[in-house]
Structure 1
Amino acid sequence: MAGLRTIFMGTPDFACPTLLRLIERGEDVLAVVTQPDRPKGRGQKLVPPPVKALAQEHGIPVIQPLKVRAPEVVEQIRALRPDLIVVVAFGQILPQSLLDIPKHGCINIHASLLPRYRGAAPINWCLVNGETETGITTMQMDAGLDTGDMLVKRAIPIDPDEDAQALHDRLSCLGADTIDETLDRLAAGTLTREKQDDALSCYAPMLKKETGHIDWTKAAQEIKNLVRGLTPWPGAFTSLHGKTLKICRASVVSASGKPGRVIKADREGILVACGAESLLIQELQLEGRKRLPAFEFLAGYRIEPQTTLGAQRGMNDA
C-alpha cells in the first residue's frame, strides 16, 4: 500500500529519528519544512538545521520559511496536497489555515506525558521538578499551545542521575517508535482521541541563562535536579572567586553546614553545604576553562574549605 502523502515539520536533532522512521516506513514524504539556516560559531558561518541535512541526504525537498504563517507559505504547502503533516520540535506556531490543510490534520510529537509540561522545554522542567517518569505523547494539533487531543502515549522511567541530554536522546528515539504506533492505528482505523484535562496541565517555559542560577539555601536534591535539568544548556551555575562556575554533575550527601560554603574539596569532589544536606560537585566548568571531573580540576586549582560559592554572582558563560 502506498504511504501517506506526508509533510514533515521539524528542526533540531530531536526530530531526526522521527523523520528517518517516516522514510523507513515508506510514507510519501513530499517535503520537509524547517527553520532557516542560522549563523554559528566564531566565524558565524550559516549552518543548516539537522533536519534539513537529513532531508537532503534522502533527496527530499526542503522549505525554510522565516514565518510559516505567511500566506504564500501556506499556499505552497496547500499545493502539495498532503494527507498528513507530522510536527516535531519545529519552532514556530502553526496557524489554523495550515492545520486545516491535511485530511488527517497535523500530528505533533511532544516530549512529555500531556497534559503535563506543555511548552518549549518539557524535558528540562520535568528533571528540574524531580519527576520520576516522563514520555512521549502524540497529539492532534489545534491552535492552542500543546492543547490538542491526545492520540498515543508512551511512558518511560527517569534515572535519578539522568541529565537533560541523556533524556533528550532517549525520548528522541521513543518519539520515532510512538509515531509508528500512531500511524499504524491511523491506517487500521483504530486511532482514538482523548481530550486533555486542562486542570492537570503545567507549563514548561523556554529556558534562559538566569534559570540556572543556584540558590544554595535550597535543598541539595533540588539543586541536583536543577543541574540535571539544565545540562548541557544553559547550565546550573554559581560563582567561585568572582568567576562563573557551572556544575555539570553532582550527587547528594548527608552533611550540613552554612549554605554555599565548601565543606571539603578532595578526590571525591567539592562538597558544598545546602539548605538541607550537601551537594558533592563531581564535574564542573570554570569560566574560561574546559569541563572537567572535579578531581582533575582540583589538581590545578586549589579550593580551601570554608570558601563560599556564590558570594559574587557571575553571569558570564563558562
Structure 2
Amino acid sequence: MKKEDLKIVFFGTPEFAVTSLAKLVDEGYNVSAVVTMPDKEAGRGRKIIQSDVKKYAVEKGLEVLQPEKLKAPEFIDKLREINADLFIVIAFRMLPEVVWTMPRLGTFNLHGSLLPKYRGAAPINRAIMNGETETGVTTFFLRHEIDTGDIISSRKIQISDNDNVGTVYDILMHIGADMVIETVESILDGTLETRPQPEGEFTPAPKIFKEDCRIDWNRSAREIHNHIRGLSPYPAAFSAIEDEEGKNIDVKIFESLPVDNVIIEKNTTPGTIMISGKRLFAATSEGILEILSLQPAGKKRMAASAFLLGYHPVKFTTAQNG
C-alpha cells in the first residue's frame, strides 16, 4: 500500500500534537479526518477558543470532528463511515475500546516519556519535577489500561539542570513527530516490531492540579528547584511573599538556582528571604535557593532584580490564591 492510500484518522489537541500532524501532511499521508476537543468559551468576553490541532486542520482543509462524547452513536458511525486503516493519538482523551479497536491496522499513541515510566497525563512535568536526568518519547499500541500497550519504539534525551518543561516539551515535540513518521512507515513496509511493557514497573504521571503547583519551602533547595522548572513556564509554581509591613502577595516563580556560597544562620526558618544587592535568596530545609525570575499577581513576569526595586520582601509564606 502506498502512503497516500493509507487512510489515517488523527486524534489530538495541543501544540505538541500539531507538529506530528503537520509532518504527516507534509510527508503526503492521507489524513482523512482530525478529531479534537470541542471549542470552549474563555475569558470575560466568552471568546471562543479552538484547539491548536483544530486551527491547523482548518487551515489545511482537513475534516474536523469534535465529539462531546467519544461513545456518541453519531461519532462512532462517522468513524465507521471513514473506514480508516490506522488511528494515531497524541495528547488526547482516553479512547473507548469501540474506537481504538476500529481500524484494521490498530491505534497507536505517541507518549512523552520512556514507558513504562511516567504513565499518565503529565509525563514531562513529572519527570522534571522528580529530578530525572533523562526522558524521551514512546510510540505504542493502545490497549485497555492507559499507557500500557506494547511498545513500538522509543527515543531517549538528556535533561540538563537548565531545562524546564518548556524546553523539554519543544525537543520531544519534534523528536516525536519524526517517530510518528517512522512508526507509520514500519507499519506500511511490514517491518514493525513491538515489545510488551515490563509488568509492575511503572511510574505514575497524574494530571497537574493547582495544588500541585504550590511551593513547599520545607523541602530542599534542589527539590524546590526541580519543582519550579517542572512547571515553568506553564502552569508555573507559586508561593506568597510577605513584606516588611506584613502584607502578602502571591507570586509565580519561573526560574531558580540552588546555591552553596551563601552563608545563613543555623535553624533559619525555611522561606526566610535574604537579599544581597539585586539578588533574592530563600532558605529551604536544606540549602539556599536563588530566585531568578517571578511574576507578582496582576503584574508581568520580571527578573528578581526588577522585583526588588518595588517590593521589600521578608519571607515566602503559603500562597492565598495561587
TM range (shorter): over 0.9
**Which AA in structure 2 matches 1:201?**
F
2:59 maps to 57
**Which AA in structure 1 matches 2:273?**
V
CA distance in 1, matches of 2:116, 2:66: 30
> In the alignment, is the contact (CA less than 8 A) between 1:94 and 1:143 conserved in 2?
no
Per the TM alignment, residue 73 of structure 1 is displaced from its structure 2 partner at its CA by: 1.0
> In the alignment, is the contact (CA less than 8 A) between 2:214 and 2:319 conserved in 1?
no
CA distance in 1, matches of 2:80, 2:220: 53
Per the TM alignment, residue 294 of structure 1 is displaced from its structure 2 partner at its CA by: 0.6
> In the alignment, is the contact (CA less than 8 A) between 2:35 and 2:66 conserved in 1?
yes
**Which AA in structure 2 matches 1:295?**
S
The RMSD of aligned alpha carbons is 1.3
1:13 maps to 15
Q: 261, 281, 284: which is aligned to 1:274?
A: 284
> In the alignment, is the contact (CA less than 8 A) between 1:209 and 1:235 conserved in 2?
no
CA distance in 1, matches of 2:51, 2:212: 25
1:289 maps to 299
CA distance in 1, matches of 2:302, 2:199: 43
CA distance in 1, matches of 2:158, 2:180: 20
Structure 2 residue runs without a partner (length 5+): 243-247
1:220 maps to 221
1:138 maps to 139
State the number of aligned residues: 310
Describe the shift of the 1:69–1:315 C-alpha distance in structure 2 as closer, same or farther (beyond 3 A).
farther
Post-superposition CA distance 1:89-131 (Å, at most 9, x none)? 11x2211111111111111000000000000000100000000
Q: 221, 229, 254: which is aligned to 1:248?
A: 254
SS at match of 2:200: helix
Q: Which moved more, 1:254-263 or 1:129-138?
A: 254-263
CA distance in 1, matches of 2:102, 2:150: 18
Aligned counterparts, 1:169-184, within 5 A: 169-184=170-185
SS at match of 2:33: strand
SS at match of 1:200: coil
Per the TM alignment, residue 265 of structure 1 is displaced from its structure 2 partner at its CA by: 4.3
> In the alignment, is the contact (CA less than 8 A) between 1:287 and 1:316 conserved in 2?
no
**Which AA in structure 2 matches 1:157?**
Q
SS at match of 1:226: helix
2:39 maps to 37
Post-superposition CA distance 1:63-108 (Å, at most 9, x none)? 0000112222112101101000000011x22111111111111110
**Which AA in structure 1 matches 2:76?**
V
**Which AA in structure 1 matches 2:311?**
Y
Q: 69, 74, 77: which is aligned to 2:76?
A: 74
TM-score (norm 1): 0.94
Q: 247, 260, 274: which is aligned to 2:271?
A: 260
Post-superposition CA distance 1:145-164 (Å, at most 9, x none)? 11111001011111211111
Structure 1 residue runs without a partner (length 5+): none
CA distance in 1, matches of 2:50, 2:214: 31
**Which AA in structure 1 matches 2:46?**
Q
**Which AA in structure 1 matches 2:291?**
I
SS at match of 2:176: helix
CA distance in 1, matches of 2:73, 2:194: 30
> In the alignment, is the contact (CA less than 8 A) between 1:152 and 1:181 conserved in 2?
no
- Aligned-pair identity in percent equals 39
> In the alignment, is the contact (CA less than 8 A) between 2:8 and 2:33 conserved in 1?
yes
Post-superposition CA distance 1:273-314 (Å, at most 9, x none)? 1111110000001122211011111122223xxx2211xx22
> In the alignment, is the contact (CA less than 8 A) between 2:129 and 2:226 conserved in 1?
yes
**Which AA in structure 2 matches 1:94?**
L
Q: 281, 293, 300: which is aligned to 2:310?
A: 300
CA distance in 2, matches of 1:202, 1:188: 33
> In the alignment, is the contact (CA less than 8 A) between 1:266 and 1:298 conserved in 2?
no
Per the TM alignment, residue 234 of structure 1 is displaced from its structure 2 partner at its CA by: 2.7
> In the alignment, is the contact (CA less than 8 A) between 2:136 and 2:155 conserved in 1?
yes
**Which AA in structure 2 matches 1:314?**
A
Post-superposition CA distance 1:166-196 (Å, at most 9, x none)? 2111111111011121112112211111111
Per the TM alignment, residue 23 of structure 1 is displaced from its structure 2 partner at its CA by: 0.5
